């Protein structure tokens, strides 16, 4: 999985006044969990642009001024309900020998036979929970819809699981091809045209 580096500095004070001052200075208060003890730090608001405002997922390298570095993932984020500004972010530290659970986006590939015949593709799951060692976390889960005919569904059991485990139930529908209104109308008209007129033999 691709990684983004966040440069920050450890916080000497974590009180309300210090937190407010940090936010007023354009900084985001953060906490890193998962280690021997939580690490409190701040980073510039703009440093999170490519981490937060994107459909993609990334691991994070937290690079502190003290020289300490940590590999982590974003665990939780709080936004201001009015301005939508980032208020606080929680990270979770990664360890090479410990599996981690996170959501990964679904990437649709292929040209569905059903769509080419006039059907409409519906993506039921845009993200899936996976569990894996940090080195095996995928950037996305590939969903091949090539063989989907009109009315067919693609179940999670048809997706690859190479080095990671998908945590949803086996009956989870990833995508399906629905019959469009135009295709349904055409089928009804074709069926009506095939019926013999009253009083006439085929």
Confidence grade of residue 62 (pLDDT, cut at 50, 70, 90): very high
More confident residue, 98 or 200: 98
The pair of three-digit structure tokens given for residue 143, joined into one six-digit string: 């969903």
Q: What is the per-residue pLDDT for 197?
A: 55
Q: What is the per-residue pLDDT for 14?
A: 82
What is the mean predicted confidence (pLDDT) over 29-58?
93
- Predicted confidence (pLDDT) per residue in 115-160, tens digit: 998 889 999 999 999 999 999 999 999 999 999 998 899 999 999 9
3-state secondary structure of 151: coil
Helix ranges (DSSP H) in the chain:
16-24, 49-52, 113-116, 181-194
- What is the rounded CA–CA span in Å between residue 111 and residue 26? 46
- Predicted confidence (pLDDT) per residue in 82-95, tens digit: 988 999 999 999 99
The answer to whether 26 touches 83, Cβ cutoff 8 Å, is no
**Nearest residue to 62 via CA among 47, 50, 46:** 47
Residues 12, 16, 21, 22: what is their CA dihedral angle, to the nearest 10 degrees?
Answer: 60
The answer to whether 30 touches 70, Cβ cutoff 8 Å, is no
The answer to whether 151 touches 178, Cβ cutoff 8 Å, is yes
């Amino acid at each position: 999985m691709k990684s983004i580096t966040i440069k920050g500095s450890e916080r000497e004070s974590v009180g309300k006044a210090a937190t407010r001052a940090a936010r007023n200075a354009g900084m985001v208060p953060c906490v890193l969990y998962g280690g021997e003890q939580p690490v409190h730090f701040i980073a510039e608001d703009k440093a999170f642009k490519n981490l937060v405002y994107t459909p993609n997922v990334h691991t994070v390298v937290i690079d502190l001024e003290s020289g300490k570095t940590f590999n982590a993932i974003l665990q939780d984020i709080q936004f201001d309900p009015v301005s939508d500004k980032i208020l606080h972010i929680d990270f979770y530290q990664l360890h090479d020998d410990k599996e981690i659970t996170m959501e990964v986006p679904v990437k649709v590939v292929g040209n569905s036979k059903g769509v080419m015949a006039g059907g409409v593709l519906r993506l039921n799951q845009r993200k899936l929970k996976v569990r894996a060692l940090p080195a095996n976390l995928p950037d996305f889960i590939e969903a091949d819809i090539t063989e989907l005919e009109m009315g067919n569904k693609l179940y999670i059991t048809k997706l690859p699981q190479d080095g990671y485990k998908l945590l949803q139930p086996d009956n989870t529908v990833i995508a399906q091809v629905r019959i469009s209104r135009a295709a349904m109308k055409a089928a009804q008209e074709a069926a009506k045209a095939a019926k013999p007129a009253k009083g006439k033999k085929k």
